[in-house]
Structure 1
């Protein structure tokens, strides 16, 4: 990405969206490294703040164990096979325009967007770092940084489908969404699919082994 290091990269007001005073970038601050760390942290945080059923007796929506979650990278969100990641999902394909306005703008909003308190996002470390960075950059540098992240975001195949007040949503059904596995039932996460990155590839999700075994047991009961 374009280098934005040096004294020319400064905040216009030095205050984050939550009112916290933020020191300006110094001559030794490497903006490329800061942006890269935010990008990598985002992938980890998405899984870190993923939802669980309100009834703790029910199985988790996300199948990744703690070790697998800590190993999450942007490449995780470039996989078309969601087997082993989710128990079930509802997904919706988005156009390039929707991917940017509905999704990218939610994950990397402009400064002073009043989005810091959104559920899921507010618990994400990357999101706080992003707002702090936005408070330290001049307007023209904000455009450059967001354009670089937008370019990287376009390489992702899927992310949680955000709502106006949260990162993750769960539903049993949703108009315009496709369910995987088709035989699954009950609430599950909603995810957004980047149609441009999909390029004709199919989204797949095989049921977890314990669900298959439970289904076989249920059939035997009859």
Structure 2
């Protein structure tokens, strides 16, 4: 499979793009060569990293996470050629088949990203490197070699990374209750959070995610304010005492990207994020200083079934519909004596 599938740098691949379980930790995939065999010119023991390497340079740079791994960038790979007008396995049933239009809509590689900013001429500016001309160079110091660019995969891919990490961070930062003996407000598992997609935020049965919430159907202004706090415009920095934001990986990446965008590209990027954000059915009632507010300080918020009004719980904005809540009730069966 490593031969027939496309490959990408290990450090640029997301878990959901892997065709089968592969470690993305570079340290787990370093090349191991038996010392005695190497000195004697023997074959030695070479791990998969050596097989993935394109050349000697690739092997030498493996410690910095440049090994190639197979990946599926658009969700599906066809290993056999497909022809329109002919029955295709798994895409044909009782005379029904995919039309060319339906096929392109479903599997067009151009749809691999949720964003198409690069198609409209937007891109990230090159990183600024300090040549260190005012510093004394030591022996063997080579300042002509640029550092790896963490944003090298391009604007569209980095926008995907920001949005997906935003979803993960929002779920990870769902607060715990004040007392450690009480259950968390979060019912969703860590495994589900690691693989989070926008589908979780389109699920209005909030009992799948929370043990308790405060909720209200947000106005257009509520949703725009929430978005502005989560993904601030270029030049806006969080100030003062803040919770969650300082540890949010998505925000650090977003700010790093904005620094390498022109004002026009930054505006286009936020507009694209806003269009995707509006497809969510619920979101945290984010504020300038925190992602999650738990105090019962707004009478417009309602509690889930059976919870006394005024009890602290995460505040959630609903887009159009009230949330549903699945409760498990014990059934009492009378016993005749």
Q: Common fold, TM-score beyond 0.5? A: yes
Match of 1:192 in 2: 317
Structure 1 residues 173 and 28: CA distance shift in structure 2, 3 A: closer
Q: What is the TM-score when the length of structure 1 is the normalising length?
A: 0.77
1:68 offset after TM fit, Å? 2.2
RMSD, aligned CA? 3.0
Structure ranking higher on relative contact order (CA contacts 8 Å, 6+ apart): 1
1:8 and 1:161 mapped to 2: Cα distance? 31
Q: Name the counterpart of 1:109.
A: 232
Q: Which residue of the other structure, out of 100, 118, 127, is the alignment partner of 1:3?
A: 118
Deviates more, 1:54-63 or 1:27-36: 27-36
Could you tell which deviates more after superposition, 163-172 or 35-44? 163-172
Give me the whole-angstrom Cα distance separating, in 1, the residues matched to 2:122 and 2:156.
15
Check whether the contact 1:88–1:205 (CA below 8 A) recurs between aligned residues.
Answer: no
Unaligned residue ranges in structure 2 (runs of 5+): 1-115, 130-146, 333-337
Structure 1 pair 169–49 and aligned structure 2 pair: CA distance change class (3 A): same
Tell me the distance in 1 between the aligned counterparts of 2:123 and 2:280: 32
Matched, 1:75 2:199: yes
Give the number of aligned pairs: 196
* Residues 1:64 and 1:138: Cα distance change in structure 2 (over 3 Å): same
- TM-score, length basis structure 2: 0.52
Map 1:156-175; keep pairs closer than 5 Å. 156-172=280-296, 174-175=298-299
* Kept after mapping to 2: 8 A contact 1:170/1:190: yes
The structure that has the greater radius of gyration is 2
Cα distance, 1:4 vs. partner?
6.6
Q: Specify every segment of 5 or more residues in structure 1 that has no aligned partner in the other structure, as ranges.
A: 15-22, 217-222
Match of 1:97 in 2: 221
1:127-170 Cα offsets, whole Å, 9 max, x none, are 11001111111100001111100100010111111123100011
SS at match of 1:191: strand
| More helix per residue | 1
